[in-house]
């Protein structure tokens, strides 16, 4: 069997209704995993793509506005892959940023991520099973950005928690890593791509000379969940066309 195969594995992908989450869910299914697609909105499009590719998937409604919403979903369900992709962003100048916008983003992007990982790891440890966690970080896990204070804080936190959890769980056979996507062609970046000047400035900074595709992130997620990455622990892997190297 290929070291990149996920045959016999079962994954939960959060925020799987569109964009990166959808691409990752499809990629895992194409690699052989059974994929449960979680979202606060309908995931039928993602399930249709998985079915068309000959994969196996199911849907699950989860709204991480409640950071503890996933605490009971892993027991006895056979999951051994967790992709924490769900996230939100709020924009305002730091001097005007509201407590509500701070709390909402931190709850979804950081608190929910940690307690979902905790519930997942507890179940694997009880079962004595190995597994893999992939957290979706950001270029703003390394950079400051502007007008997104809670998002930047949360994504720095994701990078730190990824390393912390890897330190504690690597010896138990649980690989914990993160992907930091660069500028990816999704609905969330459509406004940037439609702004001629902003689009050109972004492309000029990317050594690869193009926006990333969701599939670029999906392939990396498949790798990090596979036996090929068995000795990869605590990495925050930037998939950015060379943005951070520039």
Residues classed as catalytic: 151
How would you classify the pairing of strands 10-14 and 34-39?
A: parallel
- CB of 214 within 8 A of CB of 186? yes
Sequence-ordered list of residues with C-beta below 8 angstroms from that of 51, at least 6 positions apart, any chain? 57
* Residue entry with tokens 């697609």: 37
> How far is the C-alpha of 35 from the C-alpha of 24, rounded, in Å?
10
| Maximum CA extent, the chain | 55
- DSSP assignment of 120-132 equals HHHHHHHHT--EE
């Amino acid at each position: 069997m290929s070291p990149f195969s996920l045959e016999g594995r079962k994954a939960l992908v959060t925020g799987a209704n569109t964009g990166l989450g959808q691409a990752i869910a499809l990629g895992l299914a194409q690699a052989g995993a059974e994929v449960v697609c979680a979202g606060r909105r309908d995931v039928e499009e993602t399930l249709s793509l998985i079915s068309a590719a000959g994969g196996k998937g199911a849907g699950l409604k989860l709204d991480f506005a409640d950071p503890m919403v996933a605490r009971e979903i892993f027991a006895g369900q056979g999951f051994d892959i967790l992709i924490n992709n769900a996230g939100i962003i709020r924009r305002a100048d730091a001097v005007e940023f509201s407590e509500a916008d701070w709390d909402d983003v931190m709850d979804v992007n950081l608190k929910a991520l940690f307690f979902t990982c905790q519930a997942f790891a507890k179940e694997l440890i009880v079962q004595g099973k190995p597994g893999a966690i992939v957290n979706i970080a950001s270029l703003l896990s390394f950079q400051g950005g502007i007008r997104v204070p809670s998002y930047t804080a949360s994504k720095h936190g994701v990078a730190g928690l990824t390393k912390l959890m890897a330190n504690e769980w690597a010896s138990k056979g649980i690989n914990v890593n993160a992907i930091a996507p660069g500028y990816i062609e999704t609905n969330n970046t459509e406004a940037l791509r439609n702004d001629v000047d902003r689009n050109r400035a972004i492309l000029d900074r990317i050594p690869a000379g193009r926006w990333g595709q969701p599939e670029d992130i999906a392939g990396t997620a498949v790798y990090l969940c596979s036996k090929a990455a068995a000795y990869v622990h605590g990495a925050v892997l930037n998939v950015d066309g060379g943005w951070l190297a520039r």
